[in-house]
Structure formats: structure tokens, C-alpha cells
Chains A and B, each alone.
Chain A
């Protein structure tokens, strides 16, 4: 049981190629990190896996527990267990957090069944408390007027409510202050389980100090060019990504 990506090529629709043959396998229960310089394709990989309409898969495959990811629509991928915590969570004016979450949970129930309101609010408020979020946020429009950190926490809240099998965290640490980073990381760590995997995309070691990955990949020019253990994080922290250019020469 794993997320298997083979020879994935993708580009911006009618534009230049960005992913140039990615091979990656993330078994259940593991946390993988992807690091890489700006423009290497990290966010593109997360969006392509989730089916963002701006991108086009030109070759390769991605299977999630044996299911062809690219044969599914965006919402089907989510209901099948894929989750993306956005680098820039989107504002949805007029739609309250509670209604948004309830719609997402209802979509996972058999047709005609409703989300039980009492247990829903109990669970929602419990997880908000865990993330240090004000309960008033349930009645506020999704991410509207939220600070950068509040948006990131809100995405993690959604992840905790939806219980995905595979969660991609796209630069979740950006915009978080030290305390928020710790709280969010604790939330993620609490979700680590043998039946769940994480793909953590980040530039910085500080997030990976909290969410310690099992495997670290380096993405460069649309390809995975290194795969190693946590020592790679320390190396990049000390030396940056210059070694990639050197090896290219």
C-alpha cells in the first residue's frame, strides 16, 4: 500500500515542461520530505497529483493504493484519501468554515446520509482547540481575512477532520511564527499512523526538526536527483543547493 509515481512528466497547460520524469514511492506509515531550490517543481508536483486544471500530465503515472490517480477527478482523489495543504490557502467568501467542512464530510457519506451536527461540532471544536484556534472561526468565511498563519492552521484543521491516507503539506511552515509552527507540527505528528503517509514540501530544516521525515528527496529541474535520510536536511542547511549545480557541471 503506497503512493507510487513513475516517470511523471507534466507542464503548465500549453507551456513549458516543469516535471521531467519523477519517480517516487511513499509507502504507508512513512513521512517523506521534498526539498529543492525555488522553481524546481515542488509545488507543481503537489498540484499535479491533486489534479489542478492549470497543469497537464504529458507522460507517466501515479497510483494511490493501486488506484490510477490521473483517472480520477479532483474531488474523487480527495475522497479516495489524498489531501493537499496549500502553500497559499484560498479564500472562499461567504462560505463558513463549518459549512465548508460539513459539505466535505457529507461528500464522503453514502448518498442521502447527513453529517450528525452534534458530533460534528464536538469534533471540530476539539480539533480547533488542539490547534489553538478560536472557536469563532467556525462561523467565519473560509480563510477570508485570516492571517497567513491562520490560513495554514485552517488547512491543517481540514486535514485532521478529513483523515486522509496521503497528505501533502506544501510549504506549510511559510507564514507560521515559532509557536504556530510547533502547534501545527504537533497536530501533524499526532496524525502519524501506520495507515497514513505524509509528503512534506519545505525549504527549511526547522519544520523537519518537528516533523522528522523517514526519507528526504531533493527535487531539481523537475527530477528527484537525491534520496537520503535526515542527514540530507542537515547538509542542505549547511551548504545550500550549490552541490546540485556543481554535480551538473
Chain B
């Protein structure tokens, strides 16, 4: 290691220690990825759909080459935002260590392209949402880091556009300090051709309030892995998703609400409207660590099925290793309520518009709760 000439001994030691930690992390992540398997049906986290096909196609697209962004940017100038660079080793390390739910091998492909994206250090309240946008027609791996300082209120909106046959593999690391409040709304869309998206999110809540909403539309395939880690009493974490799935769409959502500390709440509501032969899989888990007493956690997956050819796999789960907790989960899937439909028709609203209104209304619950 080369040290600058004017560096003090203490600074040199600190730098050396930092580099040693980074090397250890690199080694750790290398071991992790060497052990990682490409998705297959024997892996519980990739049980449904056609994981081998998607993973193979995904790997082929991301194995080589540079990120091909159609655009990267934000629509309001903000001093909180800096562009990510490939030599930001702290953030590379953060990303290497971010938890996945069965996608370590695919995350390794993402890390090969590390260096595009945004870093948001939010140290004062935002008046308007900070808006980020990424789009591609081929393959892109943006990374977003959001860090909110204690007591600060902020909103962030992220848009991913998978144009034509574009694939996006996005990661998002969110850290919320004590007393901070953050809302993150993630909208991912395609133009109906063959857009695909993987979104891996890690939320670390240190005693603040976080609301996170994902919305997907017009995409052929979506894989979402969201891990919310709750580290301090008083934390509030709310996870929402609201999606309309059309013909051939496959949505594969996996979530974990991990309560490391007691006295905190987490709430999840994922809702989908499925039409045609769309498929939605939801596998969620609430984990309450030993000693995380007085946890209050809830998880709900609701699906409105407009077609008999649509498929839903819903697997809510609880793993509770503490006492005095209140945890529950629910799942319900069913067709449109005939009485609701008749009511709208009886007011002269045509069938198609009535379906759309009821479907939008069904999803609105999640969106309105996100807005608070």
C-alpha cells in the first residue's frame, strides 16, 4: 500500500485498517458467491415459475459488457445527490454484503457492473420527492444508496424503465437513522414487449419510519427481493406493493421482515390484479430474533384474479424466536366481487371500465396506505 507523504501515522493505520476490512469483505463475498448456485427449482426461494430459464437468460445478458443506459438521471436538482462511481469502495462493500433471498449468484453478476447509479445523503427535509430515473433497451445495473440523517423527513421516487427488450437489475440500499422518516416509491415499467426487472432492496431501519412502495406494470418478468432489517426499538417499517399483471406477465416477490430489536413494528401489504395467464408468486417471512420482545409485525398478500387462467402462489411465513410478540399474516386470492361489478354496471359504466375501476380501487388501498 502507498501512503501519501504528508499522512500521519494514525491516518496511515486507519487507512490500512480500512483497506484490510475491505479486503476481508471482498474475500467474504467471493466465498459467498463461489458457494452460490444459479437459481433452480430445488432452491426453495426459486420454487415457482421457470427459474432456470429466467436465470440463464438473465446471466447471458449480464455476463459481459457495459451498462447500456438509455438514460440515467433525476428531474430536480438537489445537492443531496451524487453520482455513484466504480471506485467508491465503501459502497461497493455495502452492496457486496447486502442480503438476497436466493440470488447471491445473480447479485455477483450485478456487482461486475458496479459503478452506475446514485448516492443520496439526505441531511435536511426534502420539500419535494427526490426523483431518480433509469432506463435501458438492453441491460443495465443501477445501484441506489439512500441514507437519511437523524430526524430528517424525505421522499424519494425511483423509476426504472425496461424499454422493448430491456433488462434492469437494480439494487437499492436504504439506511434510516433514528427519528428520520423516509418514503420511497419505486415504479418499474415496460412498454409491453419483453421488459424484465430484478430489484433487490435492503432497508436498515435504525429507529426511524420507513414506507416503501413498489409498482410494476407492462413487464414480462419481475423478481423482487426486499429485506427489511429493524435494528432499534420504536422503528416503523411499512412495505407495500400494488401491481396490475397482464397476459404472460410473471411477478415473483420475496420479502423478509427481520426484527433484530424488540419494541418495533413492521407491516406489509402486497396486492396484485391478475389478468390473462399472469402468474404472481409471493413468499414473505417475518423473522423475530431471540430477545426482540414486544415486536408487532403483520404481513398480507391479496390478489384479485380477473381470469381463470391466472395463477397465484402465496406463501406467507412467520419465524418467531422471542416472547411477547404480536405477529400475524394473511393471504387471500379470489375473483372480482359480482355484487361490486353489478353495482357499477347498474350505473351505466361499461364492463371494461367497471373492471378497471374495481381493479384500481383494489390496488389503491396499498397506495393510499403508503401515502399515509
By a beta-carbon cutoff of 8 Å, the part of chain A in contact with chain B is 50-54, 73-75, 77-79, 83-84, 86, 89-95, 99-100, 103-104, 107-108, 141-142, 158, 162
By a beta-carbon cutoff of 8 Å, the part of chain B in contact with chain A is 337-340, 342-351, 353-354, 357-358, 360-365, 368
Is A94 within 8 A of B347, CB to CB? no
Is A78 within 8 A of B346, CB to CB? yes
Q: Report the separation of the CA atoms of residues A51 and B343 in the bound assembly, to the nearest whole angstrom.
A: 11
Q: A78-B345, A92-B343, A92-B344 are in contact. List 14 more A-B contacts (CB 8 A).
A: A52-B342, A53-B342, A75-B346, A75-B348, A83-B346, A89-B343, A90-B340, A92-B340, A94-B360, A95-B358, A103-B344, A103-B353, A107-B350, A142-B343
By a CB distance below 8 angstroms, the chain B residues around A53 are: 338, 342
Is B343 within 8 A of A90, CB to CB? yes
Q: Report the separation of the CA atoms of residues A99 and B357 in the bound assembly, to the nearest whole angstrom.
A: 9
Q: Report the separation of the CA atoms of residues A73 and B349 in the bound assembly, to the nearest whole angstrom.
A: 11
Is B358 within 8 A of A84, CB to CB? no
Q: Report the separation of the CA atoms of residues A162 and B347 in the bound assembly, to the nearest whole angstrom.
A: 8
Q: Which 4 A-B pairs have the closest CB atoms?
A: A94-B361, A94-B364, A78-B348, A95-B361
14 CB contacts below 8 A, A to B, read A53-B338, A73-B351, A75-B346, A90-B339, A92-B343, A93-B364, A94-B364, A95-B360, A99-B357, A103-B349, A103-B353, A103-B357, A108-B348, A158-B347
Is B353 within 8 A of A107, CB to CB? yes
By a CB distance below 8 angstroms, the chain B residues around A107 are: 348-350, 353
Is A73 within 8 A of B345, CB to CB? yes
Q: In this complex, what residue of A is CB-closest to B363?
A: A94
Is B353 within 8 A of A84, CB to CB? no
By a CB distance below 8 angstroms, the chain B residues around A162 are: 347-348
- Report the minimum CB–CB distance from B258 to chain A (whole Å): 30
By a CB distance below 8 angstroms, the chain B residues around A74 are: 342, 345-346
Q: Report the separation of the CA atoms of residues A162 and B344 in the bound assembly, to the nearest whole angstrom.
A: 13
By a CB distance below 8 angstroms, the chain B residues around A141 are: 361, 364
Q: Report the separation of the CA atoms of residues A92 and B346 in the bound assembly, to the nearest whole angstrom.
A: 13
Q: Which of B339, B345, B362, B363 contacts A75 (CB 8 A)?
A: B345
Q: Report the separation of the CA atoms of residues A43 and B300 in the bound assembly, to the nearest whole angstrom.
A: 37
By a CB distance below 8 angstroms, the chain B residues around A78 are: 345-348
- Report the minimum CB–CB distance from A230 to chain B (whole Å): 29
Q: Report the separation of the CA atoms of residues A13 and B341 in the bound assembly, to the nearest whole angstrom.
A: 18
